[in-house]
Amino acid sequence: MITVFGIRNCDTMKKAFAWLEANAVAYEFCDYRRPGVVAAQLPEWNRCAGWQALLNTRGLTWRRLSEDERTGIDEARALQLMVAHPTLIRRPLVAMGDHLLLGFSPASYARLLG
């Protein structure tokens, strides 16, 4: 069983859900916004993928941060921001044991989950 982390109303998440269902891949969904989820999981995600891969700097949440919050970003600051603003984490994030799959690509999903 895999766990898919993210937010349900995201377009990319919807594409990932559709792919998983069309390919009969069993999964559990966990919303980033559920209290304590990110704080509990982020250290392990950071260990597996690195904060640079996790931090979504293309999204609306990033653009809404103040210039001061976005300037001089390092690991500690990035992790702090992701806990405070879970939608800064790239999505979907698929956890398969010690492996993470970030974002959605039909080819990468087929290769790793198909």
Active-site entry in 1, 4, 9, 10: 10
As a whole number of Å, the end-to-end CA separation of the chain is: 13
User: Helix and strand tally (H, E) in the chain?
Assistant: 7, 4
10 among known catalytic residues? yes
Q: Residue 13 corresponds to which tokens in the numbers above?
A: 């998440």
CA 89 to chain centroid, in Å, comes to: 5
Residue type, 104: F
Active site residues: 10
